[in-house]
Chains A and B, each alone.
Chain A
Amino acid sequence: MVPTLKDIMARCEALFEDLHFNAVKEWKAAVPGRKAIGFMPVYVPREIVHAAGMLPVGIFGGGDQMEVIQGDAYYQSYICRIPRSTLEMGLTGRLDCLDGMLFPSLCDVIRNLSGMWQVLFKDKYVRYIDVPHNYLDSVGGEFYIQEMQTLREDLGRIAGKPISDEALNASIAVYNENRRAVQDLYAYRAQKPWQAPTAEVYLVIRAGMVLPPEEHTPLVRAYLAAVDLEDRPKRDKARVVLTGSFCEQPPLSLIKSIEMAGCYVVDDDFGLIMRWLLDEVPADGNPLEELSKAYLHRSAQQASKFDEKKEDKGKYLLHQIKQGGAEGVIFAAASFCDPALLERPMLQDILSKQKIPYTAFKFAENTGQMAPIREQAGTFADSIKLWSDA
Chain B
Amino acid sequence: MNTTIQMTPAQPGKKPVAEVQKEDAMLLQKEMLNANYKDLASAHDQGRKVAATFVPGNLNELVMCFDFARSLPETNALQNGMRKKSGKLIMDAERDGHSEDVCTYVKSDLGMMLGGEIGPTGEKLPTPDLLLLSYTGCFTFMKWFELIRQKYNCETVMLHTPYQGDGKITQSMRDYIVKQLKETVIPTMERVSGVKFDIDRLRQYMRESAKAEDDLVKVLQSAKNRPSPIDGYFGAVYYIGPIFTAFRGLPEATQYYDVLRREIDERVRNKKGPITPDGEMLEEKYRLVVEGPPNWTSFRDFWKMFYDEGAVVVSSTYAKVGGVYDNGFRHDADHPLESLADYCLGCYTNLSFPQRIDMICKYMDEYEADGLLINSIKSCNSFSAGQLLMLREVEKRTGKPAAFIESDLVDPRYFSGANIKNRLESYFQMIKQKRAVAGVVTAH
Which single residue of chain B is at the shortest CB-CB distance from A309? B156
Interface 0/1 of A26-47, CB less than 8 Å to B: 0000000000000000000000
Q: With A127-B165, A336-B101 as known contacts, state yes or no: A107 contacts B184, CB within 8 Å.
A: no
| A83, A139, A343 interface centre (most CB from chain B within 10 Å) | A139
Which single residue of chain B is at the shortest CB-CB distance from A111? B163
Within the complex, which residue of A79, A128, A140 is in contact with B384, where a contact is CB–CB below 8 Å? A79
Within the complex, which residue of A115, A139, A344 is in contact with B386, where a contact is CB–CB below 8 Å? A115
| CB <8 Å contact, B146 and A346 | yes
| CB <8 Å contact, B150 and A313 | yes
Number of interface residues of A (CB under 8 A): 58
| B98, B150, B183 interface centre (most CB from chain A within 10 Å) | B150
Judged by a CB distance under 8 angstroms, whether A372 is at the interface is no
| CB <8 Å contact, B180 and A108 | no
| CB <8 Å contact, B150 and A348 | no
Judged by a CB distance under 8 angstroms, whether B147 is at the interface is yes
Q: How far is the CB of A114 from chain B (nearest CB, A)?
A: 6
Interface 0/1 of A102-138, CB less than 8 Å to B: 0101111101111110111000000110101110101
| CB <8 Å contact, B150 and A139 | no
| CB <8 Å contact, B102 and A79 | no
Q: Is the interface of B mostly helix, strand, loop or mixed?
A: helix
| CB <8 Å contact, A341 and B102 | yes
Q: With A310-B149, A310-B150, A338-B103 as known contacts, state yes or no: A130 contacts B143, CB within 8 Å.
A: no
Q: How far is the CA of A130 from the CA of B382 in the complex (A)?
A: 16
Q: How far is the CA of A303 from the CA of B103 in the complex (A)?
A: 15
Chain B residues within an 8 Å CB radius of A107: 139, 381
Chain B residues within an 8 Å CB radius of A103: 165
Interface 0/1 of A334-362, CB less than 8 Å to B: 01111101111110110000000000001
Q: How far is the CB of A36 from chain B (nearest CB, A)?
A: 21
Q: How far is the CB of A122 from chain B (nearest CB, A)?
A: 10
Q: How far is the CA of A17 from the CA of B152 in the complex (A)?
A: 47
Which single residue of chain B is at the shortest CB-CB distance from A344? B99
Q: With A139-B183, A142-B176, A335-B101 as known contacts, state yes or no: A128 contacts B166, CB within 8 Å.
A: yes
Which single residue of chain A is at the shortest CB-CB distance from B164? A128
Chain B residues within an 8 Å CB radius of A313: 146, 150
Which residues 123-155 in B have Cβ within 8 Å of A in the complex? 133, 135, 138-140, 142-144, 146-147, 149-150, 153
| CB <8 Å contact, B184 and A76 | no
A residues at B contact (CB < 8 Å): 73-76, 78-79, 83, 103, 105-109, 111-116, 118-120, 127-128, 130, 132-134, 136, 138-140, 142-143, 146-147, 303-304, 306-308, 310, 313, 333, 335-339, 341-346, 348-349, 362
15 CB-based A-B contacts, threshold 8 Å: A73-B388, A76-B388, A83-B385, A108-B381, A108-B385, A115-B165, A118-B353, A119-B353, A119-B357, A304-B139, A310-B153, A338-B143, A342-B147, A343-B146, A345-B96
B residues at A contact (CB < 8 Å): 96-99, 101-103, 106, 133, 135, 138-140, 142-144, 146-147, 149-150, 153, 156, 158, 160, 162-163, 165-166, 170, 172-173, 175-176, 179-180, 183-184, 352-357, 376, 378, 381-382, 384-389, 393, 406
